[in-house]
Structure 1
Amino acid sequence: MKLSPNRQQGLTLISTLLLLGLIGFFVLLGVKVIPVYLDHSKVANALSALEKSGNIVEGQTEFEIRNNLAKRFNLNYVYDVTQDDIKITKYGSYLKVAIQYEVVKKLVGNLSVLAEFNDVIEVGQK
């Protein structure tokens, strides 16, 4: 009995299940990871808005800068950045604000995704 290639059609049940499992994994990965990057864009926007404000170097203390960032993060519902993640260096007319943080999201069981971010702005002359 000889089978012609014209009679062979479609996927087997196992192939279909494996394909659906692979698609499901990548959908789950996207659902968990995309919000992390959206929050990071909010952090980057807060830093750039802080950089564009005119009186940041001379007019504000370290506490005021931290308070300004905390208000922006609270307004945009960013909860991954803590005060310990913000490093502020100020010398006269030079200001450097660095935010370095990481986010861990559980996927399934003991499988997790780690995203590390490091954003820096520098204003003024050293």
Structure 2
Amino acid sequence: MKRTQGGMTLISFIIVLAVVGVFIYMGMKLIPMYSEYYAVKRALSEMSTDAAVEHADPAKIRDLFFRRLYISYSDNVGKEDFKIERKDAGYLITVDYEVRKPLIGNLDIVGRFNATQELRRRGG
């Protein structure tokens, strides 16, 4: 009985390597976008527990938020993406932004992110 070898050919190995390479390259583009989004969410949640924000006006809240983002090296969130509105006994902050990164040639990766946080004022 003759035994044949099984396995991939060189061509199929190169194709698999190319597909894996494309996914790794896409991951290198996506991971910074999502880490920035989680930095935005972290900044918002920290602000909701910060005593300095409790009695601050909207301009001061905006300044504190962007200071926290500056520490996290977040470049894609602009002043126009930050909205603050009065709600009940506090404020509702909405950060809605889009990130566009070039992928290959004329193809781009586009991420749309939205984060909200309610800031409540405590009596005192």
Shorter-normalised TM-score: what interval? 0.7 to 0.9
Matches of 1:15 and 1:55 in 2, distance apart? Answer: 60
Cα deviation 1:11-40 (Å, max 9, x = unaligned): 222211211110100110111111111111
SS of the equivalent of 1:56 reads helix
Match of 1:32 in 2: 29
In the alignment, which of 23, 36, 41 is matched to residue 38 of structure 2?
A: 41
Over the aligned positions, Cα root-mean-square deviation in angstroms equals 1.9
List alignment gaps of at least 5 residues for structure 1: none
Alpha-carbon distance in structure 1 between the residues aligned to 2:19 and 2:88? 55
* 1:61-100 map, 5 Å: 61-91=57-87, 93-100=89-96
- Structure 1's 91 and 23: CA in aligned 2 closer, same or farther, altered over 3 A? closer
The alignment's TM-score, normalised by the length of structure 2, stands at: 0.87
C-alpha separation between the residues in 1 aligned to 2:52 and 2:30? 36
Identity %: 31
Q: Distance in 1 between matches of 2:100 and 2:90?
A: 33
Deviations 1:29-65 (A, max 9, x none): 11111111111111111000111113534x2111101
Moved over 2 A (4+): 54-57, 91-94
Gaps of 5+ in 2: none
**Any idea what SS the aligned residue of 2:76 has?**
coil
Q: What does residue 5 of structure 2 align with? A: 8
Equivalent position SS for 1:71: helix
Structure with bigger gyration radius: 1
